[in-house]
Amino acid sequence: MRNWMTAKLFAVFALALSNVAAAHAQTSEFNAAFDRALGTEARSPQSFEAVYDGSFERRVAMLADGNRGRIGVAAIDLSSGQEIAVLGNQRFPMASTSKIAVAATFLELVDQGKYSLTSEFPLLIPVSSAKFSSSAAPVRKGEYMQAIDLIELMITRSSNPATDALLAAVGGPAKVNAWVKRQGIKEFSIDRDIATLVRDDGEYDPASYIDKRDTATPRAMVELLQGLYQGKFLSKASRTVLLDSMSRTRTGKRRIPALMPTEALVRHKTGSLNNTSSDIGIIETPDGRAIALAIYVTGQGSRGAREERIAAIARALYDGFESKARNRQNWTSADQQNGG
């Protein structure tokens, strides 16, 4: 009897040790993944103070706390070159923010004389099909429209048929990826047309899983915005077409523009898919500066909550860069008064 009890106790003890080891391994892997994303200090109670230097950085980091889903942020003051990022090098679903790259790829072909803004292409309208039933969702040709009107629709109203019309015109996703790569931008990939992307949406939860298809990092998108705004990628005329359309965006009024002061000009493009909302753009300030920013939010419980988070982060970026600019101006004035 005693031997049987002893053996049973050893078996229970061994099972307990096995469970502890498994839990430890799971925790270690979680911690390793966390460390790779945010650094080894990010789990401590003083994480924001330890990882981020100033109150501006801590404020953005707190707003981008991803406890209820991953949040990626990247921004740069184009006047000073000062940058800030939270998970800036992690991949997020671009959703419709990729449409800026599609438009830019087409506009380069206009600059090269291969197309014009009056070239006409048919809207590509999705035909009903089951999820994952084909590598590309079926579409039918709709109304023919001039390229300038397709760009306006795809940027200001986020029209998917207009986007797929121009995506087909440039030669498909591979041509857009090649254009982005030629600009020196990495960590960007369009893998499907919009009809297929939307039809097959929901395969993975972006709050907890990174599917590299049709994704980019926030830093990559800010690099794209910076180059477009500063005229590095397109002619002045094509740059104006794209930036002007971004200033007329009708979607996402509760995102970047929501908390901006009335004197700030916002040029932006939104994106929305299953459990993810995003907004990227340029904010032009009254004092002549420009801020490029990309905000990708997953999870948070609802689309409304994601949009509130985007709006709050965007305003924190605006205020933080404004404060830094004011400080630089004060330092310059002090140096001049002191003969520096």
- Domain range list for the chain: 50-114+177-329
Who contacts 295 (Cβ-Cβ below 8 Å, separation ≥6)? 71, 72, 73, 218, 255, 256, 278, 279, 280, 310, 313, 314
The residue-averaged pLDDT of 104-117 equals 98
Give the chain's radius of gyration (CA, Å). Answer: 24
CA 82 to CA 41: how far, in whole Å?
23
The correct answer on CATH 1.10.3720.10 for the domain covering 50-114+177-329 is no
Q: How many residues does the chain have?
A: 340
* Average pLDDT of the residues of the chain: 86
Cβ–Cβ under 8 Å, residues 38 and 87: yes
User: Could you tell me which of 155, 128, 139 has the C-alpha nearest to residue 244?
Assistant: 155
Query: Residue 19 pLDDT more than 60?
Result: no
The pLDDT tens digits for 255-314 are 999 999 999 999 999 999 999 999 999 999 999 999 999 999 999 999 999 999 999 999
pLDDT bin (cut points 50, 70, 90) of residue 334 is low
**Residue 92 near residue 336, CB atoms below 8 Å:** no
278 and 95 in contact (C-beta within 8 Å)? yes
Instruction: Give Cβ neighbours of residue 242 (< 8 Å, ≥ 6 apart).
Output: 100, 103, 104, 107, 151, 155, 228, 234
φ, ψ for residue 120, nearest 5 deg: -110, 140
pLDDT band for 189, please (50, 70, 90 cuts): very high
Q: Shortest CA distance to 280 belongs to which of 65, 76, 82, 83?
A: 76
| C-alpha to C-alpha distance for 219 and 52, rounded to whole angstroms | 18
The model's confidence at residue 196, banded by pLDDT at 50, 70 and 90, is: very high
Number of neighbouring beta carbons within 10 Å of residue 319: 14
**Given a cut of 80, is residue 156 above it in pLDDT?**
yes
By CB atoms closer than 10 A (0-12, 13-18, 19+), residue 337 is: exposed
What is d(CA 163, CA 166) in angstroms, rounded to the nearest whole number?
5
Give yes or no for a contact between 154 and 101, defined as CB atoms under 8 angstroms apart: no
3-class state of residue 44 by DSSP = coil
- pTM for this entry: 0.82
Statement: residue 151 has pLDDT above 80: yes
Average pLDDT over residues 157-177: 98
